[in-house]
Structure 1
Amino acid sequence: MIADTPRTPVLLAWSGGKDAAWTLHALRQRDDVEVVALLSSITTEYGRSSMQGVRRDVLHAQAAACGLPLLEAGIPTSCDNAVYEAAMAHALAEASARWPGLHTAAFGDLLLEDVRAWRMAQCARIGWEVMTPLFGSDTAQLAREMVAGGLRATLCCVDTHQLDAGFAGRAFDDALLDALPPGVDPCGENGEFHTCVADGPMFTRPLALERGDTVLRDSRFACTDFALGPAASR
């Protein structure tokens, strides 16, 4: 009898958005890897994910709905690459100590080769490997697959230099994809928008998120706040 080949443990970078969530879904379709935990970079002054601006308690609720622990890498508001890399290296060292044999990190990168190469170089310096299972996807097709596959997300941040502020707070659905102007990536891969996920095939239960105010930050980014509803907060 041939013994089962052990699966490679993976730590998934978790922003709270659709690409990270769909990366988890994709990795769970494979029999050679096992996502053991999620890792979020948190802006310590605000208690939110450093990219999407998703609240810390929402991130932890998402992780719980995925059935996974969430690790945090705290970074300051004014953060250069050196500070970010040091925080991530510390978090990865803690993760590998907690899960022996863990030295592979997965990211939801789709198209940007320079970002992917930077991540790979950053991780290689500390003995980690990188997986980007969605990289090279047709983002128009991928966006439709996410929607058809049951992903439920909302635009929580819009770069008003690339997309009208009125898109902030809208559901990431077929109607939104139909309404995006030419030149805007359907997955927001060029930074046009970020999302906050509330449900999908990677969740065991949907999150009850309540929409808050939309504010303009740095005279550029229209950010819509989402908080856990009373039922989800208990």
Structure 2
Amino acid sequence: MSAANGGWGALFSGGKESSWALYQALESGRDVRTLVVVQPPATSSMYHAPAQSVIRLAARSIGLPILDVGLPVTDLEPPDLQAGVSEGQEGELEELEPALERLDVEFDGGLRGLVAGTVTSDYQADRLQSMCDRLDCAFVAPLWQADPRELAETMIDGGLTIRIVEVAGPGFDESWLGRQLDHDALTDLAALHREYGVHLLGEGGEFQTIVTDGPHMSRPITLEFEREWYGTWGRIRITDARLDASASADEDEHR
């Protein structure tokens, strides 16, 4: 793709949906040039950024620069699963739109489009589409309205290493914190879905994830963490995160 066609930005949180949407965009040949990281206020229903310390490492492994947008993350303790979308969250788009306007100026050929990992949120999809219409660029949501079980299985089988970093829903306990979202975990989530209505992708805010490895990454991320449990919800506190040096050494040996 020539520079004259412009470049793409990708909304990126480090979580499973944004990571898989990015991978799909890259596989389809889209010229993604920047990861757009929105650092939301605590009450955000538009975006989530579960582990800021990991996002920088993920970007390095992916090989793309980051554009930071918005305010620093403030934890909501405990997360409010019943919180609705408020008019105040329109301000988040007010932060994002001028940032994308800057990309339109900076990119050789302008901003061709924006990729997002939204799956079920009409609020998010509609407002991102409207924003892109105003910017005269495309909006692509490759995961939109995907079947939750099929999408989860596709991400797992596709090579994403997904870790659960926060839980705040019925049926969860401390053992979920730091657990890899693999097929066994997905089976357990399906049981929670049947009993408590937990969304298999955590779209209701029941759990948050980070991706530590995938086909779009050159090196996996190694984590050390402690669990913080508050009786009805919990999260991991990352004590150390780094790119796996052994993977780089293996690559050098095969050159």
Q: Does the pair score TM above 0.5?
A: yes
What are the ranges of 5 or more consecutive residues in structure 2 without an aligned counterpart? 77-85, 246-255
The match for 1:224 among 212, 223, 236 is 236
In the alignment, what sits opposite 2:216?
Answer: 202
Deviation at 1:13, TM superposition (A): 0.3
Deviation at 1:231, TM superposition (A): 6.2
In the alignment, what sits opposite 1:97?
Answer: 105
Change over 3 Å in CA distance of 1:221–1:90 after alignment to 2: farther
Change over 3 Å in CA distance of 1:30–1:153 after alignment to 2: same
Moved more, 69-78 or 57-66: 69-78
Aligned AA for 1:10? W
Structure 1 length-normalised TM: 0.82
1:15 and 2:13 equivalent?
Answer: yes
**1:86-134 Cα deviation digits (max 9, x unpaired):** 2112221222222141141110011233321122123333444311011
Structure 2 length-normalised TM: 0.76
More helix by share: 2
What are the ranges of 5 or more consecutive residues in structure 1 without an aligned counterpart? none
| Aligned residue pairs, count | 222
Q: Tell me the distance in 2 between the aligned counterparts of 1:224 and 1:189.
A: 19
Aligned AA for 2:11? A
The match for 2:63 among 59, 63, 67 is 67
Deviation at 1:61, TM superposition (A): 0.8
In the alignment, what sits opposite 1:178?
Answer: 187
CA RMSD between the two structures? 2.9
In the alignment, what sits opposite 1:26?
Answer: 24
Percent of residue pairs bearing the same amino acid type: 25
Deviation at 1:137, TM superposition (A): 1.4
Confirm or deny: 8 A CA contact 1:156 1:223 kept in the other structure. yes
Confirm or deny: 8 A CA contact 2:40 2:49 kept in the other structure. no
